[in-house]
Chains A and B, each alone.
Chain A
Amino acid sequence: MTILPFLAITFVAAAASLLGRRNAALSAVVGIVGLAAAAIAAATIRGSDTLVIGGSQLAGSDYLRLFTLLGSVAALVLATLGLATTSHRNAPGVLLAGIGAAGLALALPDARIAVMAATVGGLTGILVTVVSPSTAPTVVVAVRELRAVAVAGFLSILAAAWLARPLGELAALPEVFGLAYLGFAAAVAIRFGAIPFHFWAARLADAAPEVTLPMLMAWGPAAFAVVALAWTDQSVAPLLLPLTLERGLVVIVGVASILLGSLAAWIQDDLEHVVGYTIVADAGVAILGLAALDPAAWEPARSWILVFAMVRSAFAGWVVAVHGTYGTRRIGEIRGWALRTPLLGVGLAIIAAAGIGWPGLLAWDSRATLVNLTVPGPIGLLVVLGAVAPIAIYVRLLVIGVGRPTDLVAQAPSERPTWPTPMPSRPVHGGGWLERAFERTNHAIGGGLDVLWTVPAGVRANRSLIAGVLVLSLAGLAFTVSAGGLGVSAAAAAVPAQGGEQPTGSEAPIGSEPPEGSESPEASEPAAESEPPSSSQPAASPSPTPPLSGSGPAVSSSPSAGPSEGPSFEPVPTF
Chain B
Amino acid sequence: MNLALAAITAVVVGGAVVAVTARDARATLLGLLVVLLGSAVLADPLPGPLPIAARMASAFLACRLIAVAIRGDGVLTSGSLLGWPVDVLAAVAALLVGVGTHGLGATPAGPVTAQAAGFAVGVLAVAPIVSGRDVLRLGVGAMLLLVAASLVRVGLAGTPSDLEQLVESGLVIGLGGAIAIIVAGARAASGDLVISGVAIRDLAFDAAPTRELLRPAVGSSIHIGRAGRVGIAGQASRLRDVAETDGADAAGRASAPGADTEAGRASAPDADVAGLASAPGADNAGRASAPRADTEAGTDDRPSVPTVEPKASRPGPRPRSAGGGTGRAPVRRPAADGTPPGRPPRRRPGPKTDDSDTGSDTT
User: Which A residues are within 8 Å of any B CB, using their own CB?
Assistant: 21-22, 24-25, 27-28, 53-56, 82-91, 104, 108, 110, 112-113, 116-117, 119-120, 123-124, 126-127, 130-143, 146-147, 149-151, 153-154, 157-158, 160-162, 164-170, 173, 176, 199, 202-203, 205-207, 209, 264, 267-270, 272-273, 323-328, 330, 412-413, 456-457, 459-460, 463, 500-501, 503-506, 509
Contact = CB atoms under 8 A, between A and B. Distances in A.
Given A126-B182, A139-B182, A146-B138, A165 B296 contact: no
A168 B145 contact: no
Contacts of A82: 222
How extensive is the interface on chain B, given as a class? Answer: 35 or more
Contacts of B293: 133
Interface string B294-315: 1111000111110100000000
A460 B226 contact: yes
B215 A89 contact: no
Interface in B199-216: 199-200, 202-203, 206-207, 209-210, 213-216
A165 B156 contact: yes
Given A137-B307, A153-B146, 6 more contacts: A84-B224, A133-B297, A134-B186, A157-B150, A167-B106, A206-B214
Most chain A C-beta atoms within 10 Å of own C-beta, residue among B159, B231, B297? B231
Interface of B: 45, 51, 104-110, 122, 129, 135, 138-139, 141-143, 145-146, 148-150, 152-153, 156-168, 170-171, 174-175, 177-179, 181-182, 184-186, 188-190, 195-196, 198-200, 202-203, 206-207, 209-210, 213-216, 219-228, 230-235, 238, 293-297, 301-305, 307
A141 B181 CA distance: 13
B261 to A, nearest CB: 13
21 contacts: A54-B166, A83-B224, A116-B171, A123-B178, A131-B219, A131-B220, A138-B185, A147-B129, A150-B141, A160-B153, A161-B153, A165-B108, A165-B109, A173-B105, A176-B105, A203-B203, A264-B207, A412-B230, A460-B226, A505-B159, A509-B157
Q: Which label, helix, strand, loop or mixed, suits the secondary structure of the A interface?
A: helix
Contact of B109 (A113, A413, A505): A505
A122 B16 CA distance: 24
A86 B139 contact: no
Most chain A C-beta atoms within 10 Å of own C-beta, residue among B104, B152, B215? B215
A270 B209 contact: yes
Nearest to A124: B174
Contacts of A85: 227-228, 230-231
Nearest to B167: A116
A176 B177 CA distance: 35
B215 A503 contact: no
Contact of B181 (A88, A127, A153): A127
Contacts of B222: 24-25, 27-28, 82-83, 86-89, 91
Nearest to A179: B104
A306 B304 CA distance: 38
Contacts of B51: 54
Nearest to B359: A137
A168 to B, nearest CB: 5
Contact of A150 (B129, B203, B215): B129
B225 A460 contact: yes
A413 B158 CA distance: 62
A240 to B, nearest CB: 19
Contacts of B138: 143, 146-147
